[in-house]
Chain A
Amino acid sequence: MDYDVLVIGSGISGMESAIKLGDMGYRVLMVEKEASIGGKMILLSKVFPTLDCASCISTPKMAAAIHHPKVTTMTYSEVETIRRVDGRFQAEIVKHPRFVDEAACTGCQQCETACTVSVPDQFNSDMVARHAAYIPFPQAVPKKAVLERAGTSPCTATCPAGVKAHGYVSLVRSGEYEKAFELVLQSTPLVGTLGRACFAPCESECSRGSLEGAVPIRRIKRFIADRHYQSKHSPGVILKAPKGQRIAIVGSGPAGITAAWHLARKGYPVTIFEAEAIAGGAPALTIPSYRLPSAVVAQDIDNLRQIGVDIRTGVRIDNVQTLSEQGFAAVLMAIGTTASVRLRVPGEDLEHVQSALAFLQAVKTGKRPSLLQMDVVVVGGGNVAIDSARSALRLGANSVRLVSLETRLDMPAFSWEIDEAVREGVELSNGWGIQSISEDGVELVRCTATLDAEGRFNPQYDPAVTQHVGGDRVIVAAGMKPDSESWQSEVMVKPNGRIMVDADTLKTSIPYVFATGDAVTGPSTIAEAAGAGVKAAAQIDEWLRKAPSRLSGEAKPPKVQRDAVLARQTHYAERLPVKADKALVFKPRDFAEIEPGLTEQEARYSSGRCLDCGVCSECQECIAACPADAIHLDRTDEHLATMVDSVILATGFKLFPADLKPQYGYGRYKNVITGMQMDRLLAPTRPYHTVLRPGDGKVPENIAYIMCTGSRDKTVGNPLCSKICCMYSNKQNQLIMGALPLADVSVYDIDMRTTGKGYEEFYLQTAEMGTNFVKGRVAEIVEKDDGNLIVRYEDIEHEGQIQESEHDLVVLAVGVQPNHDVERFFGPNLLGLDDYDYVNETDETMSPGKTNIPGVYVAGTAAGAKDIPESILHAGAAVAQAVAYIEGRRLHI
């Protein structure tokens, strides 16, 4: 791409520069970082001294710029660097994604209306909400929606199953419980199962964790699942009759089920073969009911049946051939880790010794052995051992001792699970290995280390230290591995039983046989296995259709950093997490669920604690609402480079942050606002329906203006006059008197600066209309209980006496400041700045607009405070300089 001039900024100066250059036949690229062109002028009410409506005179300029055949406009884009290359300039530009297809978007705003995330509207000076999906303002050019995404929210980025955690949290906050359920279903049908038994890695990453505690993301999921299943027995997903190639899935655990869910939704006829009598894998067969009731898993599994997946239980598949003979085009092995690792110690085959998996499965599937009055020894330090020990207590055991190689701190089980087990009465013997098992218990040997120097599992023992622990029952939880022996003649299997696959395609050694889940990775978690199921479904779909699969997931923006999230607010009100309140008793004797669900009120409150880390929550409401199918969340930044002959800097100014004058109380007092906020209140596209004070919506009756806030003030480092505040205050005074005829307006000023054509007359007219101009320096403002404000000022006309007066709204006539954005384009110290950090004009008197870099010009307030007519004039000067430079160079070449 190649242009004559790059114009940075599209306020009135930038637009004017671009249009003039375009009219002269030059090719212009105008780059604007906001989603609309127009700068600050389009947000004003009217302009002084003519009182023309600002948007009426801005919009034709905006239209002329965007439609100009010689002007290319890039919005939502930023210039990153500008370098001189062969006498020209090379600009690197990043175009941020709007996530909205501009060609398709009609600007109907339905996405914005449907969006579930509210943030302050920067185009209304933060006085009202806008949504994460938004159209900047009614006259925006282009009038296209944009989705504000700061990155992927930590919870969503962390979920191994790909669940859009932030999305369902924001839907619950809006009371859209069923939509929240549907959003989880987009990733996996295991909504209720994950809502109870997921280890919730999302919560460890939750930004609210840095404040009072994480958002209970998992329990909110349980709430939406319970709520759904209370009234509905179908997932609400409607599918066309399946067609195409048939797919067999072996194993109905989270991996197999989730893969089946996605493939069936893609239209494939899917059959699941499950060896056991009950479908659901470990969640249905082994995870104890006090954590995960069987009915919950059954409800989740039923979602699959409802969409037509054929689940055949009690059918064990031992080889691939059987399936290919039945005409399946692809096979997925999701056989989990259903075999137990043996201890290899004497006595392991005695009758009173049982594997944890067999024990838990018997318990969960209703064949509960009685352990009444028995002393039980559980071997192992992981979560399965803990589940076994706690189940044994519930079966009436007299005592349950858990023996593990590791110290308590190093046990692989989650520390909260260990704590709960201990509270229920499980005793721990840490740092012991098993030497042998006998009829009356186990012989322990001291374990001195579990890992070797390379960090591999290789326990070391001290045979001199031994101990006998008595026990009537021994349950061994020494690890799990896939039951893959019978498959070894067909697919390649590792010595530990895990199936070998290509890490990218999940293909085994047979082209149409894929494997996934714990069968490949070894024991993991429900969420990880579900994520593995999604990946397998994508790979199978891709392989069958010989085309990229949409199931592969969309490109995601990088995870947003917690510090960046927390820095968005100056302070946080305390919102304590809802207590976990698990019903833990000593020696529980039944399998009743120990964790209560959240009530509706608790779920709403908890979702209200979410910080909207990524801003957009990916709830997908906008996508559903958009009639033009214009929204695509998978877009990423585009980087481009362009060559130009000349650059015009029109990056404008920043407003003085009024909280830097703490004595005026901005940000603390409810009814102290800035001049820009008053302009918004007076504009036709205002945040409220009329001029109201923000503290309580009262129509103000007695308004004060404090002039020179942040200007002509060495205490804030700005001795300059901002030139515009006197006149915009006069303009606002006249407009207020039109809008609120009964209101009194007082202006506290040192002097009025009215240095333009017709300005002095305008000021006199303001005074004639009734504005009370007080020569006074305001020392401080104090807020009263009713929200009114006491203004204390030095009365210049009465020998500096301190006076007080009461107002119901105070407007701070804030001044302008340089925009430091401009400094980074050219690298450190290359662009000359003046003493006040505005872009320096090297010859302001004779060559306005000229900077210290030949070919680079400055237009408008980037060079210092100016009003609109002056900015336009200045832009004309910069354009003339740029043209002279370009033509001069061309003549020389």
Chain B
Amino acid sequence: MMPGRRDVREVIREEPLRRREIQTMLADGAKTIREISAQLGYPSEEILFWIMGMRKYGYVAEVPEVTEDGYYRYRNADREAF
């Protein structure tokens, strides 16, 4: 793998560590993967792994409409991370 792109296993392992950070950020409104990436400073592909993991286990959900440039936005769901 290319330096700069982290091993998938490592990225996924970190998801529990990032949940609260991401939820805190989404508290002021739904955001796209790119927007979350820009605000938190982690690569967008890593944010995607975390968001999809969080989505699977009930921490976030997608907003049904796509933005004009072709992205979905994600919002906090019922489950709260510590």
Contact = CB atoms under 8 A, between A and B. Distances in A.
B42 to A, nearest CB: 12
A689 B44 contact: no
Contacts of B53: 118, 128-129
Interface string A447-488: 000000000000000000000000000000000000000000
Nearest to B33: A697
Interface stretch (A78-86, A547-555, A568-576): A568-576
A569 B6 CA distance: 10
Contact of B55 (A130, A689, A699): A689
A697 B13 contact: no
Contacts of B72: 689-690, 692, 697, 699
Interface in A595-631: 604-605, 607-608, 611-612
A570 B52 contact: no
Given A176-B82, A696-B34, A697-B72, A572 B7 contact: yes
Interface string B13-55: 1111101100000000000111001000000110011011101
Given A174-B82, A695-B44, A128 B8 contact: no
Interface residues of B, number: 40
B63 to A, nearest CB: 10
Given A120-B9, A128-B52, A670-B45, A571 B1 contact: yes
A116 B81 CA distance: 12
A593 to B, nearest CB: 28
B17 A608 contact: yes
Interface in A829-888: none
B11 to A, nearest CB: 9
A116 B57 CA distance: 11
A612 B53 CA distance: 17
Contacts of A570: 1, 7
Q: Which of A129, A176, A570, A689 has its CB near the most chain B CB atoms (within 10 A)?
A: A129
A787 B45 CA distance: 10
B77 interface: no
A129 B45 contact: no
Contacts of A112: 57
A417 B20 CA distance: 38
Contact of A119 (B1, B9, B56): B9
A494 interface: no
A128 B56 contact: yes
A668 B70 contact: no
Interface in B52-72: 52-53, 55-58, 62, 66, 69-72
A710 interface: no
Given A120-B12, A571-B1, A697 B51 contact: yes
Contacts of A690: 72
B57 to A, nearest CB: 6
B10 interface: yes
Given A569-B9, A570-B1, A701-B70, A129 B52 contact: yes
A173 B17 contact: yes
A696 B16 contact: no
A688 interface: yes
Contact of A128 (B3, B33, B49, B62): B49
Given A119-B13, A120-B12, A570-B7, A668 B2 contact: yes
Contacts of A569: 7, 9-10
Nearest to A569: B7
Contacts of A572: 7, 10
Contacts of A688: 52, 55
Q: Which of A573, A607, A687, A787 has its CB near the most chain B CB atoms (within 10 A)?
A: A573
Main SS class of interface, A = loop
Q: Which of B5, B17, B19, B62 has its CB near the most chain A CB atoms (within 10 A)?
A: B17
A428 interface: no
A783 to B, nearest CB: 9
A129 B71 contact: no
Contacts of A49: none
Interface string A158-179: 0000000000001001111100
Nearest to A742: B70
Contacts of B20: 175
B60 to A, nearest CB: 11
A689 B82 contact: no
Given A120-B8, A129-B56, A699 B17 contact: no
Given A174-B16, A176-B82, A608-B14, A699 B66 contact: yes
Q: Which of B6, B9, B51 has its CB near the most chain A CB atoms (within 10 A)?
A: B9
A645 B57 CA distance: 46
B21 to A, nearest CB: 10
Nearest to A808: B70
Contact of B1 (A174, A611, A668): A668
A368 interface: no
A692 B51 CA distance: 13
Contacts of A805: none
B45 A696 contact: yes
A698 interface: yes
Contact of A175 (B3, B48, B82): B82
B45 A698 contact: no
A698 B1 CA distance: 23
Contacts of B15: 118, 129
Contact of B44 (A129, A573, A607, A697): A697
Q: Which of B48, B53, B71 has its CB near the most chain A CB atoms (within 10 A)?
A: B48
Contacts of A127: 52
Contacts of A119: 9, 12-13
B71 A571 contact: no
Contacts of B14: 608
Nearest to A696: B44
Nearest to A665: B2
A129 B6 contact: no
B1 A667 contact: yes
A142 interface: no
B19 to A, nearest CB: 8
A607 B82 CA distance: 14
A52 B43 CA distance: 38
A612 B13 contact: yes
A522 interface: no
B27 to A, nearest CB: 16
A690 B63 CA distance: 12
A573 B10 contact: yes
Contacts of B32: 697
A684 B60 CA distance: 19
Contacts of B58: 113
A698 B82 CA distance: 29
A225 B9 CA distance: 30
Contacts of A667: 1, 5
B16 A173 contact: yes
Interface string A108-127: 00001100111110000011
A174 B20 CA distance: 9
Interface in A101-153: 112-113, 116-120, 126-131
Contacts of B55: 688-689
A598 to B, nearest CB: 15
A523 interface: no
A412 interface: no
Given A689-B55, A692-B72, A697-B32, A573 B13 contact: no
Given A175-B20, A608-B17, A699-B66, A126 B48 contact: no
Given A129-B56, A701-B70, 10 more contacts: A120-B9, A129-B49, A175-B20, A176-B82, A608-B13, A687-B56, A688-B55, A689-B72, A696-B48, A697-B51
23 contacts: A113-B57, A118-B16, A120-B12, A129-B52, A130-B56, A174-B17, A175-B82, A569-B9, A569-B10, A570-B7, A572-B7, A605-B17, A611-B13, A612-B13, A667-B1, A687-B56, A692-B48, A692-B72, A697-B44, A698-B69, A699-B70, A701-B70, A787-B44
Interface of B: 1-3, 5-10, 12-17, 19-20, 32-34, 37, 44-45, 48-49, 51-53, 55-58, 62, 66, 69-72, 81-82
When A and B form their complex, which 3 residue pairs have the shortest distance between CB atoms, in order from nearest?
A175-B82, A129-B53, A697-B33
